[in-house]
Structures are given as structure tokens and as C-alpha cells.
Amino acid sequence: MSREPVRIGLVGYGRGGRFFHAPLIEQAPECVLAGVVTRSPQRRDELDKDHPGTPAHDDLTGLADAGVDAVVITTPLDTHEPLVREAITLRLPVVSDKPFTPDAASARDLVAAAERAEVLLSVYQNRRWDADFLTVRKLVEAGELGEVVTFESRMEQYSPAGQFSLTGGGVLRDFGSHIVDQALRLFGPAASVYAQTHVVPEQHNFDDRFFLSLRHHNGVISHLWGNWALQGPPPPRFRVVGSTGTFEVESDDGQTERLLGARSPASEGAAFGTVPEARWGRLYRGEEAGRTIPAERGQWSTFYSMLAGALRGENDPPVDPWDAVAALTLLDAARTSAEVGRVVRLGDV
């Protein structure tokens, strides 16, 4: 017998809520988009066009009164903490978009508050379900590269003048939340970090690019780059060097571009998140020319399928909020490192 889908509500219907959450909620067969909090007449018109019949609400209380099973916070960074606390007070399971909070201390307080109230809390780390990351993880876990020595990860793009985003807290918090989370998922906790950042004075001194060097407790060195001001073609997305092989892949699965272009899992079906063979990565051994490795399928809607299972008591939340605390702890240390110009041990922050 089929079960009733889990009713998910969104707070916010800007770029994130409209393009990176609503289509994926609807794609997850276990979920339904049950309502959106937005007061903007423009956003309400867009919601009615995109999802006819989906009700709009003025506030989180109205969404809760409508009987949603969970709420997803997709508003700017500086609103995450008060809205998550409000959801906890309403005893409403809650997902926060990344960056979770501005720093690790506030994140720890929120996770502790949710645990005391016994309210499910998760963080939207959708890039765990990128095709390229899933392919790297499969190779690493299968031992195809031997003992991993270095891991290189880049999240870089060109943003035209005037489109610099301030709502994510700068590129270190924004892109950094993704690529640090991925590195920690692959290789475990970091013992130390060295960081360099570039700030834009006319943009309230927010950073628009960074470089991080992490030393993980298991000895792996991760080199991570983020850039909102890339000039020219992007370099490889991942390069993983091991004792018996090196894997390199140049680009991601295009889920971002597809969603921003109104191409969703609903419109593309099983093709969504797949990677053309011409963009598959290559595995190199010694002086060999390299062997093409079929890409895994990227599927961000997996987050919502797992969220539904967690709400039904069938599995753990899709992302443990303590993982977000760990990533923010590292990003706090990275900001300190960039300020003082030296390596910072994680035990020092």
C-alpha cells in the first residue's frame, strides 16, 4: 500500500528556494511541497506559476498551522539562526540551507537546542550527491587509487560585476561549506589548516576567493580552492593522487545549470544528473594514457528522500548537523589562519 507523502514547507522563495529546493522536493516521490513562506508579491506570483495551488504563508507559524511535517529554511544566512530556533520552538523538524550559521559557536548552540527539544535538525549539503563527488568517493572506498596522498578540489566560477552575492557570507562560507564538507566526508577530521583569502573592499570586505590546505588526521593533504571571480576556463573539479593511481575529473554534472534553466528532474527524468561520456573523469596509473571512468549519476533529490525516511523513523537524517559544526569549526580556523598568516591547529579554535 502506498503511503501519504511527507509534507515539506519552504521558508523563502528566492534563488535557493525556487530553483534548488522546490523542484527537488517535488521530484522525491516520498515528499510533496505543501507551502511556502514569502510575503513578496513577486515571489508569490512566481510560486503560483511554478507550482499552481501551492499555498503561500506570511510566516513560519502559518506554515506550521497548515500541518507541514518539516520546514526548510532557504533565506539569507543572517536569518538562519532565528528561523531555526523558531521552528524548534514550534517543535517542527527543520532543515537549514548552507551556510548553516556564520560560525561554529552559533551552530553548536542550535544543534544542542534541537537535541534538547528532540526536534530533527539537518543541513542541506546537497553537493554530497554530485556525480563527480560520488564517483570520487566510490573510487576511494574501493581502493582504486591505493593510499590517497593528496586531494584537490575546486569550486570556481565567473560572476559578472554587480552579481557578487553577499547573502552567503562570502565565498569561504558559501563554497567553503560545500568543499570542506566533501573533504571531511572523504578523509575524516582535519588536524590543521592553512588559508589564504582575497577580500573585496567595496563589497563590505567579503571574500571572493580562497585557498585552503588541510592536513587530515589520517595524513591525507587536501588542497581546496573557491572562487567567485574566475577568469578563463575552470580547472579540474577534482584531482585525487594515490599510491597506485591518480583520478582527475574536469567538471560537475550540471545540476546547477539545469535547475537555473528551469530544467528539472520532472522534465528530464532519468537523464537529470547524468554526465555525458565526453566529460567523464580519467584514472591514470604510471605512464599509462589513462582509463575513462563512468560517472555516477548525481541526484540532489536524494536528500529529500532520506529526509522523508528520517521523519518516518526509517533512517538517520540525510546530513548530521554535527557535520556542519565540524565544517564551520574548520572554516573558523581558516579565517584565523588567513588573518595571521600561519597554520592553525583545530584544537586552537
Stretch 208-225: mean pLDDT = 97
Given a cut of 70, whether residue 139 has pLDDT beyond it is yes
Edge-to-edge strand ranges of the sheet holding 281-284: 291-293, 281-284, 246-249, 238-242, 148-156, 221-227, 206-216, 190-200, 344-345
- The grid cell for 187 is 578523509
- Grade residue 161 by pLDDT with cuts at 50, 70 and 90: low
Q: How many CA atoms lie within 13 A of 165 on its CB side?
A: 20
255: pLDDT strictly greater than 60: yes
What is the per-residue pLDDT across 51-83, written as a single tens digit (0 to 9) for each? 999 999 999 999 999 999 999 999 999 999 999
Q: Assign 28 to helix, strand or coil.
A: coil
pLDDT at site 262: 83
- Report strand pairing: 190-200 vs 121-124: unpaired
List the CATH code of the domain at 130-298+330-345: 3.30.360.10
Q: Using a pLDDT cut of 90, give the percent of the chain over it.
A: 79
H-helix or E-strand spanning residue 181: helix 171-187
Report, in this order, helix, strand and coil percent for the chain, each rounded to 5.
40, 25, 35
| Phi and psi torsions of 127, nearest 5° | -75, 0
pLDDT for 245 equals 96
How many Cα atoms occupy the beta-carbon half-sphere of 84 within 13 Å? 31
Rg value, the chain, Cα: 20
Average pLDDT taken over every residue of the chain: 92
Whether the Cβ atoms of residue 186 and residue 242 lie closer than 8 Å to each other: no
pLDDT (average), residues 128-147? 97
More confident residue, 231 or 303: 303
At 10, is the pLDDT very low, low, confident or very high (cuts 50, 70, 90)?
Answer: very high
207 pairs with which residues across the strands? 199
On whether the CB atoms of residues 244 and 235 are closer than 8 A, the answer is no
Question: What digits encode the pLDDT tens for the residues 84-114?
Answer: 999 999 999 999 999 999 999 999 999 999 9
Fold of 6-126+303-319: Rossmann fold (3.40.50)
* Res 281 pLDDT > 50: yes
Please give the pLDDT value at position 3: 81
C-alpha cell, 231: 577568469
Q: What is the pLDDT of residues 162-196, one digit of tens each?
A: 455 666 678 999 999 999 999 999 999 999 999 99
* Sequence ranges of the domains in the chain: 6-126+303-319, 130-298+330-345
Report which of residues 164 and 237 the model is more confident about. 237
Query: What pLDDT was estimated at residue 30?
Result: 95
Q: What span, in angstroms and rounded, lies between the C-alpha atoms of 233 and 69? A: 43
**CA atoms of 67 and 312, how far apart (whole Å):** 16
Altogether, the residues listed in the chain come to a count of 349
In this predicted structure, the answer to whether residue 130 has a pLDDT above a threshold of 80 is: yes
Average pLDDT over residues 136-152: 98
pLDDT at site 173: 93
Amino acid at 125: Q
Distance of alpha carbon 87 from alpha carbon 66, whole angstroms: 14
Sheet holding 31-37, edge to edge: 56-57, 31-37, 6-11, 70-73, 94-97, 121-124
Cis (ω within 30 of 0) for the bond into 55?
no
Among 231-245, 247-261, 314-328, name the most confident range: 314-328
HSE at residue 303, side-chain half, CA atoms within 13 A, is: 26
Calculate what percentage of the chain has a pLDDT beyond 70.
Answer: 96
* Shared fold status for 6-126+303-319 and 130-298+330-345: no
Weakest-pLDDT range from 3-17, 179-193, 255-269 = 255-269
- Split at pLDDT 50, 70, 90, the class of 1 is very low
